[in-house]
Structure 1
Amino acid sequence: MKKSISTILVLVMLSSISGCFSKASNTIKSEKKPILSITNVEKIIPNSYTELDKLPQEYSSELAQKNGDVVQVHGRDFNIEKLDNFIENYKNIKKNVADMVRITTYTYEGDAIICDLIIDSEGVKLIEDITRDNFSNAESRKRTVYKVVDICKTDTIEGISYIAKTNKGEEKFLFFQRSIIDSKLDIICNNTKVTASSNPYDYTKDSQDYKDIVNLGDNALKYMVTKFEKSKENGLREYVMAIACSEILKENTETKKWTTGREWYDNYTKANK
């Protein structure tokens, strides 16, 4: 009888222990994180970015740069490598849910247009925020979410265009990275320290950006000659290009026979027919 009671007690204890393991097993399974849905991804912003609603209405380029946005302002690009890395990871399927890059560009009047590319459980989404464009019409001043099916980079002589293609066949502009020569020409011609001068050589004097263009040699020469071919403009920019081209060609400045950039180009084309 005692043996029978002992056997029953052992069985009860084993059953109790088995139940505990079963409960522990269930507890571990329940701790698995659920897959993120497309709705709550909007609320997950990496530490380096502030939610759109919490950004100031007057979102300056200085603050955007500080926040780590991809920014273009006054002929300069900032943090472009973040966009390239995001696209590379997307193309190579190395993406993680909630990975993000923020692109901030500015209208002519200086208002911020913000585009957020965010990876969610279904792929990539684009949030386009035009609420800070004070010169757009009221209907356009809104925030729109798009599902992205591809991100393209198109390389031309002018620079690189970044375009997002949506599931509805739309092409949404993200960013335009100007050629390094155009960017440096912008910086040279917008030098506020010499804007009062009417002498183009004052813009190139002691300018590291000008030296950088000249140091590019034949590549810069070919690019600027092509720019002359495509445009009929004949202002300060063209004069600076002519100075740079002349220096690359090691032309004798003492025998200079041109007084405008366009005139230099005309002489150059005649001599190279």
Structure 2
Amino acid sequence: MWTFQNFIRKFTMPTITSQGDLVRYVVKVTIFALVISLAADLTTQIVFFTSWTAVLRTAIVTTLTVGVIAIPVSWIFGRAQRDLQEAKRRLEAISRTDPLTGLPNRRALIEAVSSPTPPRTAMVIADIDQFDAINDNHGLRTGDVVLQTLARTIEVHLSDYGLVGHMRGEEFALISFETPVERIVNVVTDLLRAVERTPIITPTGAVQVTMSAGIAIRGPEDTFEKLYGDADEALYEAKRAGRSQLKLSGQARQAALSGEAAGRMNLILKL
């Protein structure tokens, strides 16, 4: 709905995200200023009319004056707005990014689940087995290298299936929408096996690591905390079963075993 307030806001608080937006803003401001100035001149000339030559001369002078003033002023203001909005976008991105791994952080994952999502939303929590021992035996810097390397590995294996993020410490997560649970089980199983058989090269030498994972699916009214709690409980069950294990919450297991690949899933979940 058009209002004068919204009209003025477009000039005083423009949304400028590119060079094209900046050019369009300058053109709009210049045209607006020119129309207002010429309208004022025309009104004056009608009241104090002397000759058409004077009207034309005044219009030319007004046009040149508006161009000389409006174009550079609107360009400077528009560029400042563009830089400000770009800085805000960078800060927003930083606030949703884990500085160590470069992956989306817990806040980004929470927002992904809190926003309207498809009915079938799954969460995977993957955790490095005995990570404290890696830090104790090899040092914190080696632990950071392990986290950074695994972040890239997890992203390669899982990013096609949803939002991959770093929750905290040695814990990673995947939020997946509309992907069948049995498919998630397959790709997470492939990830765990890839991690298990690929040593990580660090400044202190090669480090062999394994990961375990838990999978949960979101109920119609479940919050992020409920979904995360179910996935974390499944992860805890996997940890109790040993290294490089995968477990599902009750709902996730039921969904996996009711799919088309129920026989194959039953075999995988028994491993």
Query: Structure 2 length as normaliser, TM-score?
Result: 0.29
Query: Whose relative contact order is higher, 1 or 2, with alpha carbons under 8 Å and at least 6 apart?
Result: 2
Higher strand content, 1 or 2: 1
Query: Structure 1 length as normaliser, TM-score?
Result: 0.29
